[in-house]
């Protein structure tokens, strides 16, 4: 017993050091997590924990088992499935409908957008959801003449609240379920948490819509920030080929449907220069179309109509035998480069530099800061130092431009084009994963791994894109947390904390202890990570419930909901960090907006849970 007590206190020391290290981020999280695992392995090898018969209770494989934990594998597989949805632009059409609503009812659009984010986040990893919706919220703020700082935190919170409503809505939920199973409790099913989760989510959404904008300051964006660079116009020239899908397309209200949000400057037809307006004019083969468009509008045009990429092909053969691979939008990247001050390309026309032949990338557009470029053909433009070129090419070719002395690659600008032609495949796969898991047709682990495999096999993702979707920080953090949880359970640490908690509140009702326990976990999850908090407190919750003689699942659900209340600090949840830049937030902004929300959800849970779970 004395030996077990010593092991327990050493493990508590590991947990304290890990919490401080994870929260401070002074050491790389991956290093801290690996150090925790290494320390536990050394502890139980040098000073093994044994029972009365000499049997070793904690072996190395018990500490390392978290890496093969079904919940961790499920989380990683769902990240790949979610990346397939993002990569193929499967959410593009619903977002465009919201943009249409924005134009006519902008205030209502905010509520619809946040509700949509909440619903989508119930079935999809919320990090890519927030990434997709940040530009839309920025546009809504501009339409309403409001600062983005009033809308970005509600966007993050809506995604977190949505994750509370289904088992796959958050990695936290899956980890709580896995920790419960590891401790001998039944697994949480898909919709077990939907009703109480929906009560909390709707309450939080109302707070985010009504209260948070009044609490947050109106901070204007920096005038020279990167946000403004994304809206700059590129001059683009496109010669319509005979087999182009644009042949025969007629302008409606001065715009061609395939080139929406793009300003047509003029069309050169033979020796005739056609100027706007272009109403009822149809495009013909060999038309030379010169237009101005932003990166976003160009990317949408290429994604919607991949065939028009052939109209940008050079007459030169591409480098490294990649002939005509640029015709497909799949695996293509848009990027920007700046002509270097001492570049050999300065003073030479585009048709003289053989850029496609030398680099494998196609020059799509050009932007000159000092003045508007005026020339009849883009290929005749003579380059100047500081000109920005918009390029299209395979990612490997774009990345090779880092070592090109003639251009400076703006790496932040490199973005893969969404393969919208494959979006239907991604939707079918994603729908099959959700339906299979929700109906119990397949276990969630099987459905998630099969869905991730299908995303790669169907071409929605390649292996490199799938591997990039797996965040190694999440992987290492969960692994370390599961190792600490297993050690705490084996050494009796969970039972000790539960006994101390029950002793402090001796004589209190189960409903009161449940409320206090929720608040304790909700506070810690904003300091530590939500995943680590979930794994560490699940065995404690089970011990507390057993000490009170109530169903352990009630306290397990309390851990699940409380661990998701990562609202009060930017490091509490990854989506908070995502919106910190676009919203121009400071640390205290999250505390002002998030701390009252944590208190609100604690009060609602404290009132609703005892009634719903029969503790009264």
**HEC profile of 443-456:** CHHHHHHHHHHHHH
Structure tokens at 61: 């494989």
Structure tokens at 489: 């359970």
Give the integer Cα–Cα distance in Å for 536 and 533: 5
Give per-10-residue mean pLDDT for the chain (616 aa): 72 83 73 89 87 79 80 78 78 65 68 90 79 70 75 92 91 88 87 94 94 80 39 77 81 77 82 80 85 77 67 48 47 82 85 82 78 61 85 83 83 65 85 82 86 90 81 75 79 77 82 92 79 84 89 94 88 73 79 94 95 85
Is the distance from CB of 230 to CB of 295 less than 8 angstroms? Answer: yes
pLDDT at residue number 25: 62
CA neighbor of 486 nearest in space, from 129, 41, 123 = 41
- In angstroms, what CA-CA distances link 477 with 66, 416, 472, 506, 570? 10, 28, 8, 35, 17
pLDDT at residue number 415: 65
pLDDT at residue number 4: 66
Give the integer Cα–Cα distance in Å for 368 and 356: 21
Q: What angle do CA 22, 25, 26 make, to 5 degrees?
A: 125
Q: Which residue is it, tokens 């995303």?
A: 455
CA neighbor of 253 nearest in space, from 272, 237, 276, 287 = 276
Is the distance from CB of 392 to CB of 309 less than 8 angstroms? Answer: yes
Measured in residues, the chain has a length of 616
Is the distance from CB of 100 to CB of 106 less than 8 angstroms? Answer: no
Contacts from 217-226 at CB under 8 Å and sequence distance 24+? 217/147, 217/149, 217/589, 218/146, 218/147, 218/149, 218/150, 219/147, 219/149, 219/583, 219/584, 219/585, 220/147, 220/584, 221/147, 221/148, 221/584, 222/584, 226/412
pLDDT at residue number 101: 62
Beta-sheet pairing, 272-274 with 263-269 = antiparallel
Is the distance from CB of 479 to CB of 450 less than 8 angstroms? Answer: no
CB atoms inside a 10 Å sphere around CB 270: 9
Structure tokens at 9: 């206190």
Q: What are phi and psi of 615, to 5 degrees?
A: -90, -10
pTM for the full model? 0.62
User: Which DSSP letter does residue 172 get?
Assistant: H
Give the integer Cα–Cα distance in Å for 118 and 114: 6
Q: Provide the phi-psi class of 99: left if phi over 0, else alpha when psi is between -120 and 50, else beta.
A: alpha
Fold classified for 232-420: Alpha-Beta Plaits (3.30.70)
394: which strand partners?
A: 332
In sign, the C-alpha dihedral spanning 100, 101, 106, 111 is: negative
Give the integer Cα–Cα distance in Å for 74 and 206: 31
CA neighbor of 185 nearest in space, from 492, 554, 444, 483 = 554
For CATH 3.30.70.1450, the residue range(s) in the chain are 232-420
> How are the residues of the chain apportioned to helix, strand and coil, as percentages rounded to the nearest 5?
60, 10, 30
| Element at 268 (helix H, strand E) | strand 263-269
Side-by-side strand order, sheet with 407-416: 272-274, 263-269, 288-293, 234-239, 362-367, 388-394, 332-339, 407-416
Q: String of b and e for 363-399 (b: at least 16 CB within 10 Å)?
A: bbbbbbeeeebeeeebeebebbeebbbbbbbbbebbe
CB atoms inside a 10 Å sphere around CB 179: 27
């Amino acid at each position: 017993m004395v030996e077990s007590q010593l092991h327990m206190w050493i493990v508590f020391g590991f947990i304290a050091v890990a919490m401080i290290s994870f929260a401070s981020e002074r050491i790389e999280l991956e290093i801290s997590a690996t150090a925790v695992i290494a320390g536990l392995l050394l502890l139980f090898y040098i000073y093994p924990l044994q029972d009365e018969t000499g049997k070793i209770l904690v072996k190395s494989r018990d500490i390392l088992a978290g890496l093969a934990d079904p919940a961790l594998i499920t989380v990683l597989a769902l990240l790949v499935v979610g990346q397939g949805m993002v990569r193929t632009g499967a959410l593009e059409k619903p977002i465009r409908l919201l943009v249409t609503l924005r134009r006519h009812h902008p205030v209502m659009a905010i509520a619809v957008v946040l509700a949509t984010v909440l619903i989508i986040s119930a079935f999809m990893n919320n990090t890519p959801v927030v990434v997709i919706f940040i530009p839309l919220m920025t546009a809504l703020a501009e339409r309403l003449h409001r600062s983005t700082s009033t809308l970005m935190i509600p966007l993050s919170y809506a995604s977190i609240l949505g994750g509370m409503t289904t088992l796959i809505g958050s990695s936290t939920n899956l980890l709580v379920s896995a920790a419960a199973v590891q401790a001998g409790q039944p697994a949480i099913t898909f919709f077990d948490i939907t009703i109480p989760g929906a009560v909390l989510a709707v309450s939080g959404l109302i707070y985010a819509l009504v209260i948070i904008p009044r609490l947050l300051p109106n901070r204007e964006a920096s005038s020279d920030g990167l946000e403004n660079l994304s809206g700059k116009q590129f001059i683009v020239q496109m010669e319509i080929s005979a087999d182009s899908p644009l042949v025969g397309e007629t302008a409606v209200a001065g715009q061609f449907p395939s080139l929406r949000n793009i300003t047509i400057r003029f069309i050169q037809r033979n020796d005739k220069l056609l100027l706007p307006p272009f109403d009822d004019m149809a495009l013909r083969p060999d038309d030379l179309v010169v237009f101005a468009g932003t990166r976003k509008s160009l990317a949408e045009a290429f994604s919607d109509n991949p065939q028009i990429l052939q109209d940008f092909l050079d007459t030169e053969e591409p480098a490294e035998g990649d002939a005509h691979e640029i015709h497909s939008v799949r695996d293509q990247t848009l990027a920007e480069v700046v002509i270097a001050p001492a570049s050999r390309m300065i003073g030479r026309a585009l048709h003289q530099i053989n850029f496609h032949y030398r680099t494998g990338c196609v020059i799509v557009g050009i932007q000159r800061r000092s003045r508007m470029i005026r020339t009849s053909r883009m290929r005749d433009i003579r380059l100047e130092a500081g000109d920005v070129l918009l390029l299209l090419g395979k990612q490997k070719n774009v990345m090779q431009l880092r070592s090109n002395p003639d251009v400076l690659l703006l790496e932040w600008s490199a973005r893969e084009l969404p393969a919208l032609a494959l979006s239907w495949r991604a939707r079918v796969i994603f729908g099959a994963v959700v339906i299979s898991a929700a109906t119990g047709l397949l276990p969630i682990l099987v459905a998630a791994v099969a869905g991730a495999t299908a995303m790669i096999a169907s071409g929605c993702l390649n292996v490199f894109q799938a591997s990039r979707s797996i965040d190694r920080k999440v992987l290492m953090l969960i692994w370390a947390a599961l190792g600490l949880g297993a050690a705490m359970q084996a050494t009796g640490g969970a039972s000790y904390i539960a006994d101390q908690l029950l002793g402090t509140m001796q004589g209190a009702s189960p409903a009161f202890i449940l409320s206090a326990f929720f608040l304790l976990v909700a506070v810690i999850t904003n300091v530590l990570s939500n995943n680590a908090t979930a794994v560490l407190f699940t065995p404690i919750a089970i011990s507390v419930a057993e000490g009170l003689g109530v169903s352990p699942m009630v306290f397990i659900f309390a851990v699940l909901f409380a661990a998701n209340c990562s609202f009060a600090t930017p490091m509490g949840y990854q989506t908070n960090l995502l919106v910190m830049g676009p919203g121009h937030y400071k640390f205290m902004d999250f505390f002002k907006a998030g701390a009252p929300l944590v208190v609100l959800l604690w009060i609602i849970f404290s009132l609703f849970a005892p009634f719903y779970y029969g503790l009264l």
